[in-house]
Chain A
């Protein structure tokens, strides 16, 4: 991304003319960094992003309105195609005008009506009505008016309570927790580990899982450090699976896809190593070493920020 600014300057951001034309945001380094941030879950609806819908690199502020933010990493999220293409599209609900490049210093004063999953305390702003069989997402009680509007607009725009698959998957997550807890109480010790993984912030539908565990078994909530270790383990096992299913070199198209996806995982690990949330680089390095992939990740780590600068 820095390379883009270097190459194209800032002029196009002000005039809206020229600038990069390619969708650099789909490059493996960007996707990798987003996996490091969101795991494999949609930032809006928390649905799992399977292999055939690996998520869109979504512009929180759409590039059709905020052209100057088209190549700003802070504006990127990982989102499922349903949220992005069917529901959000090029919308950005707000009061007043869209913030222009010349006013960029006041971007955070813009009266947006959507929750920003990366900066807002989403987890304390939303709740679930557990007395309803459908356990709908609702705004937390006693929210300030602005936050309340944002939560309500977000629920309505992404249809978080009316998409049948989404509601079904959320209810499935509750059933899974119930089942695992029942097993744990009858001696299935391993279930504690599985529940921790389900409650990790990088897991699909983690918010409702955490809400339940906080009430009933708070000791099972993972710490930030545990969450990170779980994410690293998951990325390592993805990498391992990829290495065991490498397509033949003759199959050029599949080889290219394979190579791109593998690089995404390595960038994700490199980003975690560089700036681990709730841990420190040295501990991440130990985990990578233990998985035997420190040497593979290292070049990617150096590429992001040279070690001497870190």
Chain B
């Protein structure tokens, strides 16, 4: 392998590129955590689903991975303050993050390393890595041509023009919703119709959407280059901004993905099945109705089989779409901060998943509070069910009360 004059490595092909292991140290709330991406399943596609309670570090893990994929050349665009905010702060002081990603480029296992310093990334420390530094730079250079996308948990579409990130390269701007809750998904122009040069992206989008949704979900949909998205619902003609939140935030990242795919090369295949890349999505179930939460991941597996997805979710319906080897369950009480699953979720009910995996009782806290206060009106509430109306429940409680009263007054001798 020849080291080129610019410090890069000439003639370097990273394809096929696959993530193997992520090690995060001293990143925000995380002291150290290791994630394995090599778990495979028979379900198709390449997926990792991260789950855990709030503040368990899901978003931090996605952010670490995103930074490692952007690499030294692009990270400074994030801004020094933002990077410094990622340090781990404890009572003993603050510590700079150290991020490591093991990945496979072709047949070779490589390591990308990002030590932080006060000024951003600790470049002098990286340069001491001898050959390693040149190879890392070569990989990062190559990754610029690789589709890498991040979507934070507040991604949305709006016609407001946010210019704060205008100075950034497109590659970095595409990741910003993961780091800034007020940022916008970068390439939604195609949905809104103010982008004239979007024909290939629109074609891909129009192939992709029917693979994921039914016409019954939102009515008839048309996306035309330069005109944006139009859909027809109950006789009304509506735009992308009128879509229900769940569709809008899902369409936003799908449209961005189609645009990003064709950006470097408009002649690329229009077929969604040919799209390659790495997509990080925080809370994939965002705003989606339960029936769609249930459907989305299996549909994406089929529609985008060559995209590596790393996602997070709070939804048991989404969790139950994954093989246990694809799931990363963050749990501070388990060794290494990750709970290893010794069984599959497919056969479990949503109740089971809430109880067994998420340590959450799958019932209403309202009735629990009433029972704690020994509030007798809870009896009528407990008797209501999909088969029993409130009126029927009242009748049942009245009948039970009469029965028990008779029991107490009859006073027959015990056996």
Q: Which residues of A contact B (CB under 8 A)?
A: 52-53, 81-82, 86, 130-136, 161-165, 167-168, 171, 174-175, 178, 212, 214-216, 218-219, 221
Contact = CB atoms under 8 A, between A and B. Distances in A.
A55 to B, nearest CB: 14
A174 B371 contact: no
B348 A216 contact: no
Residue among B361, B377, B400 with max Cβ neighbours from chain A (10 Å): B400
Nearest to B398: A133
B161 interface: no
B401 A133 contact: yes
Given A81-B356, A167-B371, A131 B361 contact: no
16 contacts: A52-B352, A82-B355, A86-B359, A131-B404, A133-B376, A133-B378, A133-B397, A134-B378, A162-B371, A165-B363, A174-B400, A178-B400, A212-B407, A216-B406, A216-B410, A218-B414
Interface size class of B (residues with CB under 8 A): 35 or more
B408 interface: yes
Nearest to A162: B371
> When A and B form their complex, which 6 residue pairs have the shortest distance between CB atoms, in order from nearest?
A218-B415, A133-B379, A133-B376, A168-B382, A162-B371, A178-B403
Contact of A130 (B359, B367, B382, B407): B407
Given A81-B355, A86-B355, A171 B361 contact: no
A214 B359 CA distance: 39
B407 A162 contact: no
Residue among A134, A171, A214, A216 with max Cβ neighbours from chain B (10 Å): A134
B271 interface: no
A52 B407 contact: no
Give chain B's interface secondary structure class: helix
B407 A161 contact: no
A164 B397 contact: no
Contacts of B352: 52-53
B145 interface: no
B407 A215 contact: yes
B174 to A, nearest CB: 42
Nearest to B367: A164
B383 A168 contact: yes
A52 B347 contact: yes
Contacts of A82: 355
Interface string B90-103: 00000000000000
